Amino acid sequence: MSARLVEAAYPEGRPRPEIEAHTMAEPLIELRAVTKRFPGMKALDSVDFQIFPAEIVCLAGENGSGKSTLIKIVSGVYDFDEGEVLINGKPVADFGPRAAIAAGIQVIYQDFSLFPSLTVAENLALNRLLSEGKTFVDPKRRRQLGAEALARLDVTIDLEATVGTLSTADRQIVAIARALMSDTRLLIMDEPTTALTGREVDRLFSIVREIQVKGIAVLFVSHKMREMLEISERITVFRNGRKVEEGPTAEFNEARITRAMTGHDIGHERHVWVGDATTAPRLSVRNLSVGEAVRNVNLDLHKGEIVGLSGLLGSGRTELAMALFGMEPHSGEIRLDGVPLRLSSVQDAVGAGIAYVPEDRLSEGLFMQQPIARNVIASAINRVTRGLFLDRDRLNALAEQTVSDMRIATPDIEKHAGQLSGGNQQRVVIGRWLLTNPKVLILNGPTVGVDVGSKAEIHRPELIQNCNRILLMHRGEIVDCMDAQSVEEDDIHGRLKGLR
């Protein structure tokens, strides 16, 4: 069900602008031997970095590699301990947020920093009105400023709509339009594609290319290598606070980026299932329908088998998964080890031995303010009780066991889940479900927001590497079944494209 990967439409051989032209120009911003220390670690270690006018640069690196620190230094949010920042070739003594904005550097944060209750027009106009230091607001002028901002990107969004009612993609466009209202020369986008669908990513990229034509440089941070390769002209890879590789995008491919990010080759060996498909299936689904979203789906899952379910957004893959977890009303028959199940609630599903790792760790999976130990044990609390009370020793032992089994990188189990990186958080959620001894484990989009290194360690990351069979869904039906041994990733993309 790693739909994101599949959705990221592969570029159709778009010509890349030549990068050589930039080497003649003066860099817009240049970092020379910049070092940033945090207590106990070097977040950036003597980094040289340049951005030239009108180029698109991608920052790659795992969580904690120094990407975010670099962005914060370029945008003036962080001070640094050593080195210097040059704007247009001239050193800037006290480079702070004001200096960055004065130099035309704008950041679009992942949360967009918009005002959901205010209108599109007001969101767009606020910056300008504020910088003009006016006391009174003229609604006509506010509208006019908003209209101009959207016209610059050649998009139409209802100016009087409240931002809270817009889709994520539209909100992002409002944020971009707002950032471009001032005299912007460099636009920094922090993981801009995380919440977008394939088509929305295409639209974003075409907007980014238009921005570039206007002479504005764009600095991208992304986890998705296809996207980096598609949009950028130059890729800079960070690892442990150091710049480890840099060069024109044409010289990179996924394997090279991965190697640079992790420092070693990620195993591409595929999961091989040694099981017997002739035995009775563990999970058997017959004529399952969920309203109009899923229609008459039949599915067999054998013991130890991993089946990938793929399809575009809205193909019914999520609804099918939710139905199997008792969260969507459905019709049809579901049998587990031959026993028919009635799954009308999550409790039914958990009781039957079905576990589910949600797509959105933050809102569905974890208690961020609680220690890892409690998070891990949350679904298997019965295993650590003694009478009415919790058996602390047993709880901690189980939690320690899970942390080491799942290779969760943490100094101790009392750390809050919110302090872990995305990949480790996910391992906590998976570890929690494994403690319930599930018979069927459903992972919905398991690698969303997780970087490459973590992906390879979560043992069931991407479809091909880990699945035995890949089922393709379209308009609520399973339309294709592929043997994972023989299929290539581009095949899936091709078939998905064919379905559009």
Partner 1 sequence: MTAVSKLLRRSEAAVLAILIVVMIVIGVINPAFWQADNLFNLLRANVVIGIMALSVLTVMISGGIDVSFPAFAVAAMYLTVIAMNAAGYQGVVLPFIGATLIGLVCGLANAFFIHTFRMIPLIVTLGSASVVRGLLLGLVGTSIINIDRMPPSLIAFGSSTVDIGGSKLSLMIFIYIGIALLMWLFLTRTMAGRAVFAYGDDAESAKRVGFNTRRTVYLVYGLAGALAGFAGLLHSSMIWLANPRDFVGYELDVIAAVVLGGASIFGGRGSVFGTILGVFMLTLIKNSLIIMRIDNTWQGVVVGCVIVIATALTAWRDRKALV
**Residues in contact with partner 1 by the rule CB under 8 A:** 109, 111, 113-119, 122, 126-127, 129-131, 134-137, 158, 160-162, 164-165
Task: Considering the complex, state which of residue 145 and residue 266 has its C-beta at the smaller distance from partner 1.
Answer: 145
Minimum distance from CB of 112 to partner 1 (Å)? 8
Around Cβ 411, how many Cβ atoms within 10 Å? 6
Minimum distance from CB of 73 to partner 1 (Å)? 17
Minimum distance from CB of 134 to partner 1 (Å)? 6
How far is residue 484's CA from residue 462's CA, in Å, rounded to a whole number? 11
Minimum distance from CB of 122 to partner 1 (Å)? 7
Minimum distance from CB of 103 to partner 1 (Å)? 16
Rounded to 10 deg, the angle between the 392-405 and 422-434 helix axes is 120
Task: Considering the complex, state which of residue 364 and residue 491 has its C-beta at the smaller distance from partner 1.
Answer: 364
Give the dihedral sign, CA 295/296/297/303.
positive
Which one-letter DSSP state was computed for residue 341? E
CB burial string 162-194: b at 16+ within 10 A, e below: ebeebeebbbbbbbbbbbbbeebbbbbbbbbbe
Adjacency order of strands within the sheet including 469-474? 307-311, 469-474, 477-483
Minimum distance from CB of 280 to partner 1 (Å)? 43
Task: Considering the complex, state which of residue 114 and residue 257 has its C-beta at the smaller distance from partner 1.
Answer: 114
Distance separating the N- and C-terminal Cα atoms of the chain: 18
- Residues paired with residue 477 on neighbouring β-strands, in sequence order: 474
| Cα–Cα nearest to 211, from 198, 226, 192, 235 | 192
Q: What angle do CA 166, 172, 176 make, to 5 degrees?
A: 130
Minimum distance from CB of 193 to partner 1 (Å)? 21
Minimum distance from CB of 98 to partner 1 (Å)? 10
Rounded to 10 deg, the angle between the 120-131 and 168-179 helix axes is 20
Q: How far is CA 230 from CA 71, 254, 346, in A?
A: 21, 11, 41
Task: Considering the complex, state which of residue 190 and residue 451 has its C-beta at the smaller distance from partner 1.
Answer: 190
CB burial string 207-244: b at 16+ within 10 A, e below: bbeebbeeebbbbbbbbbbbbbbbbbbbbbbbbebebb
Task: Considering the complex, state which of residue 113 and residue 253 has its C-beta at the smaller distance from partner 1.
Answer: 113
Minimum distance from CB of 140 to partner 1 (Å)? 12
How far is residue 307's CA from residue 299's CA, in Å, rounded to a whole number? 10
- Residues paired with residue 455 on neighbouring β-strands, in sequence order: none
Is beta strand 469-474 parallel, antiparallel or unpaired with respect to 307-311? Answer: parallel
Task: Considering the complex, state which of residue 107 and residue 452 has its C-beta at the smaller distance from partner 1.
Answer: 107
Task: Considering the complex, state which of residue 14 and residue 98 has its C-beta at the smaller distance from partner 1.
Answer: 98
Task: Considering the complex, state which of residue 111 and residue 154 has its C-beta at the smaller distance from partner 1.
Answer: 111
Task: Considering the complex, state which of residue 158 and residue 265 has its C-beta at the smaller distance from partner 1.
Answer: 158
Minimum distance from CB of 435 to partner 1 (Å)? 33
Give the dihedral sign, CA 380/385/388/391.
negative
Minimum distance from CB of 135 to partner 1 (Å)? 6
Task: Considering the complex, state which of residue 97 and residue 248 has its C-beta at the smaller distance from partner 1.
Answer: 97
Task: Considering the complex, state which of residue 126 and residue 324 has its C-beta at the smaller distance from partner 1.
Answer: 126
Would you say 36 and 81 are in contact if contact means Cβ atoms under 8 Å apart? Answer: yes
How far is residue 207's CA from residue 338's CA, in Å, rounded to a whole number? 53
Minimum distance from CB of 195 to partner 1 (Å)? 15
- Residues paired with residue 356 on neighbouring β-strands, in sequence order: 442
Task: Considering the complex, state which of residue 130 and residue 274 has its C-beta at the smaller distance from partner 1.
Answer: 130
How far is residue 167's CA from residue 155's CA, in Å, rounded to a whole number? 14
Task: Considering the complex, state which of residue 117 and residue 345 has its C-beta at the smaller distance from partner 1.
Answer: 117
Helix (H) or strand (E) holding 40: none
Helix (H) or strand (E) holding 486: none
Minimum distance from CB of 436 to partner 1 (Å)? 31
